[in-house]
Chain A
Amino acid sequence: MNSLPWILLFLPFVVTVVCQLVLRKSALVPWVSTASAVATFVIACILLTPSDLTLFDGPNGSGIIARYITCKPIHWASIGNFYLDIGIQLDKLSTGMMVVVTGVGALVHVFSLAYMEHDDAKARYFTGLAFFMFSMTGIVLASNFIMTFIFWELVGFSSYLLIGHWYQKESAADAAKKAFLCNRVGDFGFMIGILMLWGITGTLTFAEMAVPAEVSIGTLSAVMLCIFCGAVGKSAQLPLHVWLPDAMEGPTPVSALIHAATMVAAGVYMLFRVQLSLPLVNFHELQASTVIAWTGGLTALVAALMATQQDDIKRVLAYSTLSQLGYMVMAVGFVAGEAGMFHLFTHAWFKALLFLGAGAVIHACHHEQDIWNMGGLLKKMPVTGIAFAAGCLALIAFPGTSGFFSKELILDAAHESGSPLFWVAAFVAVLTPFYMTRLFVVAFLGKHRSDSAGHAREVGPLMWVPLALLAILSIFSGYAFINQCSPALPEHAGEFHFNTVAAVSLGALVLGVLAGWVLYAGKDKDPVRIPLLRNRFYIDAFYDKRLVRYFQDTLAAIVHFFDEFLINGLLVGGLSRTAASAGNLLRRVQSGSLQGYAFALGVGVIFVIYFTVFQ
């Protein structure tokens, strides 16, 4: 058996352990971690061509995962004939996804070498990145649901570590905690879903899953909804989206890798994996699919609206990530997971590019993040500016770029379903070019509006080379020749037919860009102020002030009060009053001290035993 997949999985883990325990704060850590990321990318590319692996037809042999291979699993926990395994399933979906994860991962590592050069704790940072690569690889390669869950949690943990990298800052520490907790809330439902699906199918292994015909549609729908909860947490869908914008407190390359390209996409990946593993279930029939589609569609809309009024360059991108994730989730809800995965694939490149570009800008502007304090950066940083522009074009689905093809497929799916969500998606397609035009015009064109932007200079090659590579991928990764690497593709991906959908999306693009240009070109401050959108629909405030402070803490306080009053006051109080009076009696006889009491208890117990047992 080929050992490459195991190396792919465990190399980053070994590197993490070595970095943490052996190398510690040595200057080698960044290089070792980066080397490991590049090595895993090479392995992922080798695994793409399955010539040296014996592929065989699976029992679920249909569609994308018709051919897969599973590596002989390690029994992680075994009880009798029951095993919890660490196994690897290689198929088009997982190998393609691995290319995205390791590809973006390797570039982000390289970029970080320069970006984090002067950070005091860069050893910790790179160790964290390596651990993230391990966890993410685990999710992608997982052959069973428990393994997915294990790595799902570990990914959440590494994200917690990296968001809280600058834990001395109150905001970073709070953001890390918030991210972890939102994920946990989602995992609550996810675990229920896994347990129920295990009960129904009798197995945890993806390749062996089959739903008995007697199981009702309602039950299956409930299971899918529970599993979807996990994706809601991890992919930051409404109403658990609040952690993702706050997660921007982490270093910018982390945002590019974890909070744009890979981890947040894991929810989409997992949902599609479940759909593929249950080929006999008609997902169109399930109410859950409708709920998933609407959750995705509404997230796309709400996030895009919020993005139009953000001033922090990273927050604009964060909300745009939410919005794009909403698109992918919507596609899964329409049972067009291929379209969702295609968008995941293209989005990973261009969103990583945009974030790294933002990172380069922030680096050059001495940690200035407010776009209204930037301006004129295209002239000062031409490579970064052009690369950023390429990312923008892909994101707004400019014809010919990768984002255009993938978004087109999602809109197609929405149109085919006949759902009103198509128009929601189309409106989002207006908003996306609008806010991206605003961002680009304000930050990169015009004149500089602060000294830090005035002194900005082009970044070094360690930073611009990844940007350039990503820019190339952002433009071209939608074409057919690169489909080989993509996780899962519908047959007509990368082709273009002019139809209603295309007309609507082109119209939306023109409308959005024009509106953005007219409103923002040459402006020095934001002409539009919509408090509702600036304050993110007051959802965060509602959670913090109402749900957490009033509801949860008040509930906790009430429970505490009742505990004191009922259990301690009445029950125990009664007991201890009795015992205390008995103690008073004893006090006259004995010393009355606690030692005496304890001694008497011990002796008394033995006497009781003696008298009841031996007499």
Chain B
Amino acid sequence: MLALLVFLPLAAFMAILLGAPARLTAIGVAVVNLALGLYAACTWRCACWSFSQPVLEKPALHLAFGFPDGMSVIMVLLTVIVTLAAVLSGTCPAGREKLYFGSSLLISGGALGAFAATDLFFFYAFHELALIPTFLMIGMLGRGDRRAAAWKITIYLGLGSIILLGGLVWLANLTGTYDMGKMVLGHAHTIDPAAQKAIAALLLVGFGTLASLFPFHSWAAPAYASAPAPVAMLHAGVLKKFGLYGLLRLAIPLVPHGLQVWLDPLLILLLGNVLWVGFITISQKRLDGMLGNSSVMHMGYIFLAIAALIAFPANPLAQPAAIILMFAHGVSIALLFGLADRIERSTGTLDLSDMGGLANSAPKLAFLFGIAAMAAIGLPGLANFSGEILVFLAAFWSYNGLAGLGPVQIACIFSLWGVVISAVYMLRAYRNIFQGPSVTTTESAADITFAERIPAVLLVLALVAVGLYPNLLLNLLKFVP
């Protein structure tokens, strides 16, 4: 069944290449996948979801998918939700439907494959598969300085992937298997410290680059600013989480001691994400650049949860916190990118100083964007808050008031300032775009139509559901096989 979920978008991609109606096929597949994903969330413990097909005998390589734990389920859920929203959002340039919708499906299929894969080779290969259409779409259908942006993301993620590959191959050689489950079960404590240290560094830099860890982040903002809406939504929302997922899935269980060596540098880097990139976000003059940077900034919190897990491996809060926040951030940033695209179509600009009073002419758009902005700020009742509060609690898990504050707690305190920073730039943007008197660009802007509202409402529902009752997702994480 899981293979169906993964291969449906890929098959649809082939069908589109062969001449199937691009938009309809993409939407159809996305709807089916959403249904399958929701069904999977209810029944994921059933053995029927795992799938394994031997590909090679030596070394033993399987095209294998499965749900080893709730984390994969949640990532799959995130992917199918954002995919449907992405194919419904944005407008395709005339004549490029095949490329536009085909690529979106390919990215989605790649991400699903990577999150569901239980075999190291395919875990890596599916992610690479998703990257290629990302590069292409930015380079061919992007806006503004699209060539430069495409070059930059290609070089960065290409190099990051190769460094990551080094680490993964090393791991595979040491453990002698490609089965990720066997790897973790059989070799959790057998890798010697020196190798752990080196592998941890490779994985941190490799996965870190893919997840825009400071200072390997500068590909992200220009790429998202230039990318067509579905690509920005899918990459920032879903594919970027691959780096974090990989750290949680492989690095934490396999090289815990190695990661501990790099804890302090990691804390400094994640503060770079939250504070340094946070300030850069404040200085942005355009909405797309601001959203791109803010998505980098918020990665800092997820890395904080990972750091808390590295520092205290027994910490029960850190991993759920990271997963909830990954889901929440994925949904909220996809919503923001989707609506930003809609704003640009209404007003013809994304320059913050060119807009104002859009809420007068487009109140529904203002309402939806307001929810998205509030989610990004971390307003309780929306998913991001649930994740962030758990991250902060996770960072203070080991504090008891007798000893002083440890490095993780100090990093947490500094990164709390990021909560103020994100309120500054988000409210400033909202104020500039939607409030105040109308100006020429916004006077006659059309409000969001019913059809355009569907993807936004879908994402808002996900944000509200997890925000009001985070146990919806946390219950998926309860079960430990």
Query: Interface residues, chain A, CB within 8 Å of chain B?
Result: 75-80, 82, 84, 146, 149-151, 153-154, 157, 164, 167-170, 173-174, 176-177, 180-181, 184-185, 187-188, 191-192, 195-196, 198-200, 202, 211-212, 214-215, 219, 552-553, 555-557, 559-560, 563, 567-568, 571-572, 575-576, 579-580, 583, 594-595, 597-599, 601-602, 605-606, 608-609, 612-614
Contact = CB atoms under 8 A, between A and B. Distances in A.
A76 B399 CA distance: 23
A187 B151 contact: no
Interface in B121-157: 121, 124-125, 128-129, 131-132, 135-136, 139-140, 147, 150-152, 154-156
A613 B59 contact: yes
Contacts of A79: 316-317, 320, 390, 474, 477
A579 B437 contact: no
Given A170-B437, A177-B428, A563 B402 contact: no
Interface in B270-329: 276-277, 279-280, 282-283, 316-317, 320
A151 B379 CA distance: 10
A563 B395 CA distance: 28
B386 interface: yes
B412 interface: yes
B139 A77 contact: no
A185 B420 contact: yes
12 contacts: A168-B357, A188-B419, A195-B392, A198-B396, A553-B282, A563-B276, A563-B280, A575-B155, A597-B154, A601-B158, A609-B124, A613-B121
Contacts of B217: 567
A215 B374 CA distance: 38
Contacts of A215: 401-402
B283 A553 contact: yes
A29 B400 CA distance: 49
B20 interface: no
Contacts of B434: 167
B155 A579 contact: yes
A614 B59 contact: yes
Nearest to A172: B435
Contacts of B412: 195
B11 interface: no
A543 to B, nearest CB: 13
A273 to B, nearest CB: 19
A613 B471 contact: no
Contacts of B280: 556, 559-560, 563
Given A594-B139, A598-B139, A602-B129, 16 more contacts: A77-B390, A77-B474, A169-B437, A173-B431, A176-B435, A188-B419, A195-B392, A195-B395, A198-B396, A556-B282, A556-B283, A572-B156, A579-B151, A602-B128, A605-B165, A613-B172
Interface in B362-393: 374, 379-381, 385-386, 389-390, 392-393
A601 B396 CA distance: 43
Contacts of A188: 416-417, 419-420
Nearest to A572: B218
Contacts of B357: 168
Contact of B132 (A180, A214, A572, A601): A601
A501 B162 CA distance: 78
B436 A168 contact: yes
A154 B474 contact: no
Interface size class of B (residues with CB under 8 A): 35 or more
Contact of B423 (A184, A557, A597, A614): A184
A187 to B, nearest CB: 7
Contact of A199 (B283, B385, B399, B416): B399
B169 interface: yes
Of B316, B385, B396, chain A has the most CB atoms within 10 Å of the CB of B396
A157 B139 contact: no
A174 B154 contact: no
Contacts of B385: 150, 153
B470 A76 contact: yes
A84 B390 CA distance: 9
Nearest 9 A-B pairs (CB), nearest first?
Answer: A200-B401, A199-B399, A173-B435, A556-B283, A594-B139, A150-B380, A559-B279, A556-B282, A598-B135
Contacts of B162: 605, 608
Of B131, B162, B282, B390, chain A has the most CB atoms within 10 Å of the CB of B282
B195 interface: no
Contacts, number: 192
B420 A168 contact: no
A580 B150 CA distance: 13
Contacts of B39: none
A575 B159 contact: yes
B427 interface: yes
Given A77-B386, A84-B389, A594-B136, A556 B413 contact: no
B326 to A, nearest CB: 16
A191 B414 CA distance: 12
Nearest to B134: A598
A334 B136 CA distance: 67
B478 to A, nearest CB: 8
A154 B320 contact: no
A533 B393 CA distance: 44
Given A167-B436, A608-B162, A560 B283 contact: yes
Contacts of B320: 79
Contacts of B158: 601, 605
Interface string B468-481: 01110010010000
Contacts of A606: 125, 128
Of B165, B277, B434, chain A has the most CB atoms within 10 Å of the CB of B165
B474 A187 contact: no
Given A84-B389, A168-B435, A157 B379 contact: yes
B121 A187 contact: no
Given A598-B136, A599-B132, A191 B419 contact: yes
Given A199-B396, A608-B165, A164 B136 contact: no
Contacts of B428: 177
A103 to B, nearest CB: 26
B169 A594 contact: no
B161 interface: yes
A199 B437 contact: no
B424 interface: yes
B427 A82 contact: no
B56 interface: yes
Contacts of A560: 279-280, 283
B423 A180 contact: yes
Given A559-B280, A609-B165, A170 B436 contact: yes
A196 B121 contact: no
A181 B420 contact: yes
B128 A184 contact: no
A307 B424 CA distance: 29
Contact of B152 (A157, A180, A181, A576): A576
B380 A153 contact: yes
B276 to A, nearest CB: 6
Contacts of B477: 79
B132 A173 contact: no
A247 to B, nearest CB: 15
B81 interface: no
B201 to A, nearest CB: 17
Contacts of A559: 276, 279-280, 283
B471 A75 contact: yes
B176 interface: no
B359 interface: yes
B360 interface: yes
A612 B396 CA distance: 42
Given A195-B396, A199-B399, A571-B215, A77 B471 contact: yes
Contact of A78 (B409, B436, B438, B474): B474
A302 B162 CA distance: 62
Interface in B409-461: 409, 412-413, 416-417, 419-420, 423-424, 427-428, 431, 434-438
Given A76-B469, A188-B417, A567 B215 contact: yes
Contacts of B409: 195
